[in-house]
Structure 1
Amino acid sequence: MDVVMHCRGMRSTRTDATVAGPRQKLPRYRAAMWAVMLVSSSAFAANTRPPNVLAALDHGLRPSTLEAGQPLPGWSLKERMEHYHVPGVAIAIIQDGKVLQAAGFGVREAGTQDAVDGDTLFSVGSVSKMVAAATTLRQVAAGKLDLDRDVNTYLTSWRVPGAPTLAQDTLTLRMLLSHTSGLTVWGFEDYQPGEKLPTLVQTLDGVKPAKNEPVRIDFEPGTRMRYSGGGITVEQLVLENATRKPLEALARAEVFQPIGMRRSTFVNPLPARPGNIAKAHDKDGARAALPRGWEAFPEQAASGLWTSANDLGAFVAALIGSYQGRSPFLPRPLAIQMMTEVSPSFHGLGPRLEGEGQSRVFHHAGTNDSYRAWIEGYLESGDGMVILTNGTNGNMLRMEIRNALSDALGRGVNPLVRTVTLPPAVMSGYTGTYRLDKSVPSEVAGNLAGHFESDTLDVRIADGRLTASEAKGDPLTLQPLTPTRFIGPGDFGQLRCEFLRNARGTVSALVVERGGGRLYFRREAGPVVTQ
């Protein structure tokens, strides 16, 4: 039987808490996948230095927010994988800038005994953007590309169409990498086995077989942040036109080989020959993307990377090492630029950034139809993590795993938030219509500029909870942290809302904050609204 866990440098001290009891009957593949974890536990228990972060997976998974009075659940990875119907997970732990643990849990394909390990290939969705960014920055470091030059001067097979109604429509790589380019197309659909794949130019023009709208500028570049997979696709074309090499060859020379990412590839569709591939599963844990077993992602830089926990852990470690001046992968000044927010975005040159001091962190999520991924690195301590899953419901699972690992690392990023209980009379004082104050500069609005599609928010009470909704949007439930401050839904980088009550006792405004961005909504006169 293959051993599920594959470790670098440090060995696991897992207990048998996640192993099925003798009376419990599990499907054959589930019994196998948890039994082998016991083998790993007994074999590796001797070495316990440094602390075994993966031990937190036995009991430490948790949500990001708990309502008042709710006990901390202390979930195990096993029960949450079964809860979300995710067959396989791979994790890497980085400590002091080195990959110390890489482990697999569960199986690559439901109904089999094909165990996941640290070298299993997963689709990682938008985490691909980080590797594409590193490829671009290596070209910048070599003097072959300029972050602030008009990208149309590099493009030969296609040009970014102008936007003559705007005061300025010049795009740069700095804008593309930080999602401040003004380009459209947030993300891309997956392609099933047998579907024809578009070329890069067909994707940019929205021409079949591409499934997306054309990638075009629709607000002045540099003035707002809006996440744009379309912008990253332009970045890929810049790389390929400027070097006359496909992204796969360029990334291999600039990133995979220097770091030692021997299993990683941008080839799409992924051929079966690498082996040890995590197959796709739907929300019920059933096999998907048949008969091959995985989708294709022709927008390679935006979402097409296939990689492993070991490889991606080494990549995160290389970025941390470059930032700290301990790795030659990127020159330190350029690595610091990569890890610095580009106003008004909360992205640097690729990663999303949060925190300060010892809690300074970069991260990026990845989401394709059947795969969910997460990377995170603590820039000062040198710690970090990689989480890869092969199920549609892996988005919630990855954050519960992430919370357990962060708690075990002791970095204090995204700690558990406990809400409070407020009397209905207090919340009813906040209901009404709030209109966006457009005089707030885009630099202050930051990553929230353009976040809301309309200029008004309706605050109501529904089923005893305070909600905020746009004219055509679903209501957001606001959970109270204090009598005036509330937190929005989500698991990382949640919206924080504060109702401002002036010296006359009147609630006059609503402030919405996230990652340094701030919006002001002025309360309009009128009756309160409840339901």
Structure 2
Amino acid sequence: MNATTIHNMKTAKHRPLCAELLGSALGFALLTFAGTAAAATALEDASTRTALATGLRPTVLHAGEALPHWSLQERMAHHHVPGVAIAVLRDGQVVHSVGYGTREAGTHDPVDGDTLFSVGSVSKIVTAATTLRLVADGKLALDRDVNTYLKSWQIIASPKAPHPMVTLRMLMSHTAGLGVHGFADYLPGEAMPTLLQILDGKAPAKNDPVRLVHPPGERGDYSGGGVMVEQLVLEETTGLPLESIARMQVFDPLRMRRSTFANPLPASAGNIAKAHDGNGAVTALPRGWQSFPEQAASGLWSSANDLGAFVAGVIGSYRGNGNFLPRPIATQMMTEVSPSWHGLGPRLDGAGTTRIFHHGGSNDSYRAWIEGYLETGDGFVILTNGENGGALSTEIRNALSDAVGRGVNPPVRAIALDLQEPAYADYAGTFVIDSAVPMDHRRALADFFDIEALEVKVADGEVRVGVAGRNRTSQMLPLTPNRFVSPDIDSLELEFHRNAQGRVNALSIEHGAARAHYTRRE
């Protein structure tokens, strides 16, 4: 119906009848839409419940291994994780939010969609969104030297970076060259450091000083320390603590009413998932949860409902149907900053309808995961309150990915291969990193797989790989006669290169779009 038709109906002699007919039509349309939306939501809810009832699985299956079809409850028991909260999104809306198990082992206190969990490094993505809101308001610039914002502390020169210029873009994408990967938790009763004590590594801080270890922009090197510099920029620019800034810029706009950067978290917050060790026993007593003074990097407390709203808000901005962030800034947030795996905060993978952003969180007793499908609006949040929650979260993610049905994160099936045949003997040897491969190609491998020399062993029908000079090795499972996958590190694959003379002279390590090349040591 175009504007002219509507105008004619409004000015017709039989306006009351036309208005009545129009009202009836609109009412029928709204009822039909509501019914369709409700049916779609019910369908998605049923799909999610089925996935969690029968769809948990490992990422890599051994040759001949059947898909196990685990239930969430049996895997929670297997991993000794008492409580889990999950939110699922479809087309940019949360369609399923529920808790499983208990907030504390041995009690009947249920987890629900509003239960608070420590979410570890997922904090970094919420901090990045806080920063980007201020960038959108013109109060911060992505490519300005952050030392020009800082008053009480400065990034200082190092032998590798005698004239450093570090920007917010670098801090958020982990390309700033700063050290301190992560931080230790603080038990009840332990003194907590200030932000400046964290940055300088002074007691009671437990970390090393945050200093440059690479020239800015040279490589992607994950740095919780760099995100703490980002926090200082936020606080010194606004004159407010991070908790207040995030509430104004993120929590209130997205109605994240349960989320907070407060540490230690007060018991008055209520409905808190307590911390549990690897055996499923409550820890961090007497309170039952640790503190995380490194707020911007790992100190957020949030719920499945709140983080579902956050994922939806970011996706909506990227797709141009939300106003949380301007679309051009959301697009920058979701574009890799070379040579990193990260955009402005999140990690990024895939293309087209399989384009996703994601990030995990890992404090001592809590594991978290968020993931969003940028083109379709699908996504999910997984929160756990046990030390073994990382393995459980991976299995849940596999089930939810399968339920989404976009082909992201499919099961990887190894093949049967007789590795005792003589043809595979020359896989063994020492292989040295080819430093001529640009960091733009090495990407995340330059961070978590920064190994100068690999030792490959072929024995007892297995290919095993480890750091040269050390005894510890990991089995690699065959996918083809010359390509192998790690059952321990998701998406990590190894390919042996046999040259035209029939000799294995090199191998490649791949992780998503990242690739490192190793040549045989003569």
TM-score by length of 1: 0.88
Partner of 2:479: 481
Work out whether 1:129 is the aligned partner of 2:120: no
Task: Provide the C-alpha distance between the structure 1 equivalents of 2:447 and 2:404, rounded to a whole number of angstroms.
Answer: 35
Partner of 1:159: 154
Partner of 1:68: 63
Query: What's the secondary structure of 2:375's corresponding residue?
Result: coil
RMSD: 1.9
Partner of 2:426: 429
Task: Provide the C-alpha distance between the structure 2 equivalents of 1:198 and 1:386, rounded to a whole number of angstroms.
Answer: 30
Structure number, greater radius of gyration: 2
Work out whether 1:77 is the aligned partner of 2:75: no
Work out whether 1:371 is the aligned partner of 2:369: no
Q: 359, 362, 367: which is aligned to 2:357?
A: 362
AA matched with 1:478: M
Partner of 1:31: none
Partner of 2:23: none
Deviations 1:276-311 (A, max 9, x none): 000011000101000001000000010000010000
Does the 8 Å CA contact 1:459/1:468 hold for their aligned counterparts?
yes
Q: 69, 85, 106: which is aligned to 1:111?
A: 106
Does the 8 Å CA contact 2:427/2:458 hold for their aligned counterparts?
no
Q: 322, 339, 346: which is aligned to 1:344?
A: 339
Assess, with a 3 A threshold, how the Cα gap between structure 1 residues 491 and 73 changes in structure 2: closer, same or farther: farther
Task: Provide the C-alpha distance between the structure 2 equivalents of 1:499 and 1:244, rounded to a whole number of angstroms.
Answer: 55
Deviations 1:408-427 (A, max 9, x none): 11121110000012222243
Work out whether 1:198 is the aligned partner of 2:193: yes
Task: Provide the C-alpha distance between the structure 2 equivalents of 1:413 and 1:452, rounded to a whole number of angstroms.
Answer: 23
Work out whether 1:507 is the aligned partner of 2:518: no
AA matched with 2:123: S
Task: Provide the C-alpha distance between the structure 1 equivalents of 2:113 and 2:263, rounded to a whole number of angstroms.
Answer: 22
Does the 8 Å CA contact 2:312/2:377 hold for their aligned counterparts?
yes
Task: Provide the C-alpha distance between the structure 1 equivalents of 2:83 and 2:313, rounded to a whole number of angstroms.
Answer: 26
Task: Provide the C-alpha distance between the structure 2 equivalents of 1:463 and 1:524, rounded to a whole number of angstroms.
Answer: 24
Does the 8 Å CA contact 2:117/2:303 hold for their aligned counterparts?
yes
AA matched with 1:222: G
Partner of 1:497: 494
The farther-off stretch of 113-122 and 465-474 is: 465-474
Q: 197, 217, 229: which is aligned to 1:234?
A: 229
Work out whether 1:172 is the aligned partner of 2:167: yes
Task: Provide the C-alpha distance between the structure 2 equivalents of 1:214 and 1:171, rounded to a whole number of angstroms.
Answer: 17
Work out whether 1:449 is the aligned partner of 2:440: no
Partner of 1:142: 137
Task: Provide the C-alpha distance between the structure 1 equivalents of 2:185 and 2:379, rounded to a whole number of angstroms.
Answer: 29
Partner of 2:455: 458
Does the 8 Å CA contact 1:406/1:412 hold for their aligned counterparts?
yes
Does the 8 Å CA contact 1:316/1:377 hold for their aligned counterparts?
yes
AA matched with 2:145: D
AA matched with 1:479: L
Q: 401, 405, 413: which is aligned to 1:410?
A: 405
Shift of 1:51: 5.1
Shift of 1:443: 1.8
Partner of 1:218: 213
Partner of 1:528: none
Shift of 1:476: 2.8
AA matched with 1:119: D
Deviations 1:137-163 (A, max 9, x none): 000000000110001111111111212
Task: Provide the C-alpha distance between the structure 2 equivalents of 1:513 and 1:168, rounded to a whole number of angstroms.
Answer: 34
Shift of 1:491: 5.5
Partner of 1:517: 514
Segments of 5+ residues of structure 2 without an aligned counterpart are 1-33
AA matched with 1:125: G
Deviations 1:108-153 (A, max 9, x none): 0111100000000000000000100000000000000011000111
Segments of 5+ residues of structure 1 without an aligned counterpart are 1-8, 14-43, 526-531
**Would you tell me which structure has more helix in proportion to its own residues?**
2
Partner of 1:328: 323
Query: What's the secondary structure of 1:258's corresponding residue?
Result: coil
Does the 8 Å CA contact 2:497/2:507 hold for their aligned counterparts?
yes
Task: Provide the C-alpha distance between the structure 2 equivalents of 1:298 and 1:94, rounded to a whole number of angstroms.
Answer: 31
AA matched with 2:101: G
Task: Provide the C-alpha distance between the structure 2 equivalents of 1:512 and 1:235, rounded to a whole number of angstroms.
Answer: 32
Does the 8 Å CA contact 1:444/1:518 hold for their aligned counterparts?
yes
Shift of 1:441: 1.8
Assess, with a 3 A threshold, how the Cα gap between structure 1 residues 49 and 523 changes in structure 2: closer, same or farther: closer
Assess, with a 3 A threshold, how the Cα gap between structure 1 residues 197 and 462 changes in structure 2: closer, same or farther: farther
AA matched with 2:349: E
Does the 8 Å CA contact 2:59/2:487 hold for their aligned counterparts?
no
Does the 8 Å CA contact 1:427/1:466 hold for their aligned counterparts?
no
Q: 42, 49, 52: which is aligned to 1:57?
A: 52
Partner of 2:19: none
Query: What's the secondary structure of 1:449's corresponding residue?
Result: helix
Deviations 1:212-270 (A, max 9, x none): 11110011111111111001111111100111110000000000000000000000000
Partner of 2:465: 468
AA matched with 2:439: S
Partner of 1:392: 387
Does the 8 Å CA contact 2:161/2:216 hold for their aligned counterparts?
no
Task: Provide the C-alpha distance between the structure 2 equivalents of 1:218 and 1:289, rounded to a whole number of angstroms.
Answer: 33
Task: Provide the C-alpha distance between the structure 1 equivalents of 2:208 and 2:221, rounded to a whole number of angstroms.
Answer: 16
AA matched with 1:490: D
Assess, with a 3 A threshold, how the Cα gap between structure 1 residues 450 and 401 changes in structure 2: closer, same or farther: closer
Assess, with a 3 A threshold, how the Cα gap between structure 1 residues 235 and 120 changes in structure 2: closer, same or farther: same
Query: What's the secondary structure of 1:477's corresponding residue?
Result: strand
Task: Provide the C-alpha distance between the structure 1 equivalents of 2:135 and 2:290, rounded to a whole number of angstroms.
Answer: 32
Task: Provide the C-alpha distance between the structure 2 equivalents of 1:444 and 1:63, rounded to a whole number of angstroms.
Answer: 28
AA matched with 2:198: T
Assess, with a 3 A threshold, how the Cα gap between structure 1 residues 454 and 412 changes in structure 2: closer, same or farther: closer
AA matched with 2:457: R
Shift of 1:447: 2.1
Does the 8 Å CA contact 1:346/1:515 hold for their aligned counterparts?
no
Task: Provide the C-alpha distance between the structure 1 equivalents of 2:412 and 2:186, rounded to a whole number of angstroms.
Answer: 39
Assess, with a 3 A threshold, how the Cα gap between structure 1 residues 52 and 290 changes in structure 2: closer, same or farther: same
| Count of residues paired in the alignment | 484
Shift of 1:440: 1.5
